[in-house]
Chains A and B, each alone.
Chain A
Amino acid sequence: MPSYAPSAPASLALPRRHSSYFPVVFSVLFLLTFAGSYRLAQVQPLLLFDAEGRRNIWKFVAGMFPPDLSWSFLSLLGRPILETIQISIMGTVVAVAIGFPLGLLATSSLTFKGILNERELANSRPRVLLRKTSYLLARAALSLFRTIPEFIWAFMFVRAVGLGPFPGVLAIGIAYAGMLGKVYSEMLEHVNPGPLEALQATGASKLAIIVYGLMPQALPNVVSYTLYRWECAVRASAILGFVGAGGIGQQLEISMRMFDFSQVITLVAILFVMVAGVDALSARARRAILGRQRV
């Protein structure tokens, strides 16, 4: 134990406060960015209120009423609505199928870091290199998948496989695989490592550790996030119709192009009900899972 000399008035000398310019610099930069964006993005709120703008808005809103609820129009919608839901479900399934394995590879605590790899990778540079490479490749693939918006993916897949729901499924599958894989890997990395270490010490293989230690711990979050993504997929699959990838969006695009706003409002209302329904459904599923967890 070091002894503290009582003679020196040590308590009076406050520890030096670390002052830095970073907060100031960042604040100034932020203000400049904001001002620049305001100009460059041509933000002109008054445009909404000038004579021309008001006239257009009025035309749009007035055209919406009364909503088109004629049977001849509604009977057209059954198939697109079903198609939208199916695209979202199949798209999410494809996204999980691609995203989950990539997510595992992109989990550093599984591939090359931490207690699960310390012994295995000790004094073996080639193995470390191999593991790191696969980790980086998985990360790169995932970020490529998600930086390209699903809309662009759909555009490309329509060119590749033709019009219809299938390019929509592929677009959601690929774009969402990127998001799911990234988030899965983060969830898996933050699982309590203690049980994993214990499983490893019993001689369990890595796959067994994933099944018995990792998944049971991460499952509530994984399921809940996947359901959330499914909700997003319903919204997205409604939009994908704009580039010819089937679903209710195709109908929406036709009605908009024909300035038939009374049909547009009907379609928007249907979309709203669909998203709200999916929302309620997944909230219920989530509660069931999380609730069971607390018992």
Chain B
Amino acid sequence: MYQLNQVSKVFGGRTIAVDDLDLKVRRGEKLALIGPSGAGKTTLFRMLNLTIPPTSGTLLFDALNVSSLHGRRLREVRRRIGTVYQQHNLVPRLQVVHNVLSGRLGAWSIWRSVRSLIRPQEADLAYEALSQVGIPEKLYDRTETLSGGQQQRVAIARALVQNPEVILADEPVSSVDPALAAGIVKLLIELSETYRKTLIMNLHSVDLALAHFPRIIGLRDGKISFDLPAAEVTDEHLAVLYAGSQTEIGEEVPSLAELRPVRSCQPRLTT
């Protein structure tokens, strides 16, 4: 499905996020990426779903070199890759049905998309997807009224409606109640098994990764630290992977979140 040869991503000419990475993912495979924050997992995901291009190296998707694609042909390839984000990335003011159906935007004409905002097109499809993730009754609710876990389910429904060949899930449970996290990870695995999708997931939680995924990749400083079947991952592997970084995880995340409203001089335009 994916073949990466010596892929690197450098930001601003000096910050190396992903460093000379080789990776092969077969169709239908399920694999988890783990590693400390700042290891380049999200950057790798953004390259895998064709949001950002690699600085160097080649990225083949289904044996197709995607580096030169743009316009319509780029969008057609993006359609085949579904992404579930850490922050859901739903539009809060829209009804759930529209957020789910936005997975169809790649297939719809612009007129159909606009019409759908007035009278939902293929609403049965959205309903079916929501039933799959267990919240069909929320179809016409406003998305912002849903809880974090429910919103993540809506985001998964969006990916289902898109009907991609690969599902990329970037820390899908980091902003969800830990008690619900396992449920969502299981749901994604079950769905990708039922519909024969390739599933690649970033996970903060090593336990969840080891419990549910046959293949584990440890990423550290933009490099692959290990790439093993779950059964062969030892404590030593993990110790090397997280050496010197465990403490930072707890400190960094909240401090950034605190700073943001102070730093921005713009009035908040989204509530």
Contact = CB atoms under 8 A, between A and B. Distances in A.
Interface of A: 1, 115, 118-120, 122-124, 127, 187, 190-192, 194-195, 197-205, 207-209, 211-213, 216-221, 293-295
Interface stretch (B29-37, B82-90, B187-195, B218-226): B82-90
Nearest to B78: A203
B83 A205 contact: no
A207 B270 contact: no
Contacts of A200: 51, 78
B209 interface: no
Contacts of A220: 93
Interface residues of B, number: 46
B94 A212 contact: yes
Contacts of A295: 142, 145
Contact of B50 (A195, A201, A212, A217): A201
Contacts of B117: 211-212
Given A187-B269, A208-B105, A197 B82 contact: no
Contacts of A208: 105, 108, 110, 113
B255 interface: no
Nearest to A187: B269
Interface string B73-107: 01111111111010101111110001000110111
B114 interface: yes
Closest 7 CB pairs of A and B: A203-B106, A203-B79, A204-B105, A198-B89, A203-B78, A194-B89, A122-B53
B106 A194 contact: no
Nearest to B101: A212
A186 B59 CA distance: 36
Majority DSSP secondary structure for residues of A touching B: helix
Contacts of A221: 269
A198 to B, nearest CB: 4
7 contacts: A119-B51, A127-B70, A191-B269, A203-B78, A204-B106, A211-B110, A221-B269
Contacts of B89: 194-195, 197-198
B52 interface: yes
Contacts of B114: 211
Contacts of B81: 201
A118 B52 contact: yes
A1 B50 CA distance: 36
B93 A212 contact: no
B253 to A, nearest CB: 16
Contact of B93 (A190, A201, A216): A216
A115 B107 CA distance: 21
B6 to A, nearest CB: 17
A1 B246 CA distance: 13
Given A119-B74, A197-B85, 12 more contacts: A119-B51, A119-B52, A120-B70, A200-B78, A201-B51, A202-B82, A202-B105, A203-B80, A208-B113, A213-B91, A216-B91, A219-B93
Nearest to A115: B51
B15 interface: no
Given A197-B89, A295-B142, A202 B53 contact: no
B270 A217 contact: yes
Interface string B189-209: 000000000000000000000
Nearest to A210: B110
Contacts of B76: 203
A195 B93 CA distance: 11
Contacts of B49: 201
B269 A199 contact: no
